[in-house]
Amino acid sequence: MELKQVIIAYKARDSQSKRWAEICAKQLENRQCQVLIGPSGPKDNPYPVFLASAPQQIDLAVVLGGDGTVLTGARHLAPAGIPILGVNVGGHLGFLTESVEEFQDTEQVWERLLEDRYAIQRRMMLQAAVFEGHGSNLEPITERYLALNEMCVKPASADRMITSILEMEIDGEVVDQYVGDGLIMATPTGSTGYTVSANGPIMHDGMEAITITPICPMSLSSRPLILPPGSVVSIWPLGDYDLSTKLWTDGVLATSIWPGHRVDVRMADCRAKFIILRENNSYYQTLREKLLWAGTRVRYSSTNHAN
């Protein structure tokens, strides 16, 4: 990998991630690398400026923060094919990031990248757009939205909890109507996020599939579904008298959806590229540690079963 043009995004209003960003920027500039640096948060989006003002191709994006900061970066950087090195500085779970311990010797990190001593993991994303009317209408009325974790259709109201009524089609065929808090369409990466909180399945992040999980449905027969990656999921809001239904991407509000509109969700034509520094990267170890499964909480003196 070349390191001629690098962008660094750090978690907004977090002094630790900002300090790490400044250290990284200084080291890279000492290596004759051009660096663009800025905060990323709910009120700060540096990526349009990064992408528009970079004088040459961007070789790397260093994202310092938690999973939320990395999700924002992935939505903006995946279409441009820019690899992301995410580091858990100031975050919590850190499913998508390298631990800060792997990042302590930053000078060694730059050497490893220059010598191609790393792995790249490509992760499936979802894209969605809003259309008017029947499925034969293929002209969207909104921009294309991207998500690395999930697309969610559910209502939002400042003064009360609203029950949604949603009709779902898969590949043009009506499958079910859901009465409840909403629907989650997730990638394998997102299966350990909002989806798992709604009792959806956990899928290995090396797979390509779409999971549909109802949120608190009022019918016991409403169950999660796992679909092939080429499926197109269409959702219509029904009986939305308050005009409160929204489309959310990775937990961020994308747009409002009114009766007569439909949301089409499908696999995106781009993938997020993550740089992996861990030499023995294990998906199952990550699950054990992040979800506090047995084996991380209880330590036994005898491990004969593993010998």
Per annotation, catalytic residue among 59, 67, 176, 205? 67
Partnered with residue 246 across adjacent β-strands are 154, 256
Tell me whether residue 67 is one of the annotated catalytic residues. yes
Neighbours of 276 (CB within 10 A): 13
User: Which amino acid type is present at position 88?
Assistant: N
Structure tokens at 134: 């029947």
Residues 6+ apart with CB under 8 A from 285: none
Q: Which residue has the tokens 């992996």?
A: 276
Query: Look-up: residue for tokens 């660096």?
Result: 35
Mention every residue, 6+ apart, whose C-beta is less than 8 A from residue 47.
Answer: 9, 40, 72, 73, 76, 77
What does the alpha-carbon distance between residue 286 and residue 284 come to, in Å, rounded to a whole number?
5
Phi–psi pair at 219, nearest 5 degrees: -125, 130
Under 8 Å between Cβ of 18 and 44: no
Name the strand (E) or helix (H) holding 276. strand 261-276
Residue 23, phi then psi, degrees to nearest 5: -65, -45
Catalogue the active-site residues.
67
